[in-house]
């Protein structure tokens, strides 16, 4: 079960009876994740995109490393030791995952896309299923010149991403 604020940010999620609460900045970047009691579990640091995560319980800093398309390929700790590694195909199917530190930002993670426990990617306006290479609901902006309202970035994931779930944007390197 999910709850959203007036601008569409997911502010609360209940999964298997466990509640998570989320705090965002004015740009829609996730700043913190808290448990049901309001205790902060993680902080997220942003620059021109996601940069790092701080585990609030251990005060450990983890730095994100991205490829040219904004997908998380690794995380390192404060000693620069690699703690997580990820690999994907262009549509976001996981080809390899070695994860010591559990965290939600993987495919298009630099732009704030979150991975759900069921494998779907939360792209703010809707959810994306990488196993079938399409969204699970229609594009909220409508046809926008395309007939398939479920297609992910017009079938060209090497040139575009859709971090908000609306349409597509050309790739950028941050």
pLDDT tens-place string over residues 156-169: 898 888 888 877 77
User: Does residue 47 belong to any structural domain of this protein?
Assistant: yes
User: Does residue 146 belong to any structural domain of this protein?
Assistant: no
Report the number of distinct structural domains present in the chain: 1
- Kind plus residue range of the DSSP H or E element containing 156: none
48-85 pLDDT per residue, tens: 899 999 999 999 999 999 998 899 999 999 999 999 99
Residue found by looking up tokens 């759900």 in the block: 116
Mean pLDDT of 148-161: 88
pTM, full prediction: 0.90
Residue found by looking up tokens 């426990």 in the block: 117
User: Does residue 105 belong to any structural domain of this protein?
Assistant: yes
Q: Is 1 exposed, middle or buried (0-12, 13-18, 19+ CB in 10 A)?
A: exposed
Structural domain range at position 33: 2-127
Give the chain's mean pLDDT: 92
User: Does residue 86 belong to any structural domain of this protein?
Assistant: yes
pLDDT, position 113? 96
């Amino acid at each position: 079960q999910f709850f959203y604020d007036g601008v569409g940010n997911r502010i609360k999620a209940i999964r298997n009876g466990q509640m998570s609460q989320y705090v965002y900045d004015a740009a829609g970047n996730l700043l913190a994740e808290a448990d049901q009691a309001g205790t902060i579990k993680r902080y997220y640091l942003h620059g021109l995109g996601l940069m790092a995560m701080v585990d609030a319980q251990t005060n450990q800093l983890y730095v994100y490393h991205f490829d040219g398309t904004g997908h998380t390929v690794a995380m390192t700790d404060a000693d620069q030791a690699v703690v997580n590694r990820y690999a994907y195909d262009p549509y976001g199917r996981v080809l390899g995952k070695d994860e010591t530190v559990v965290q939600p930002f993987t495919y298009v993670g630099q732009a704030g896309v979150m991975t759900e426990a069921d494998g779907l990617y939360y792209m703010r306006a809707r959810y994306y299923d990488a196993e079938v290479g399409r969204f699970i609901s229609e594009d909220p902006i409508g046809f926008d010149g395309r007939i398939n309202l479920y297609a992910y970035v017009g079938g060209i994931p090497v040139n575009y991403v859709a971090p908000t779930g609306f349409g597509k944007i050309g790739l950028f390197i941050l």
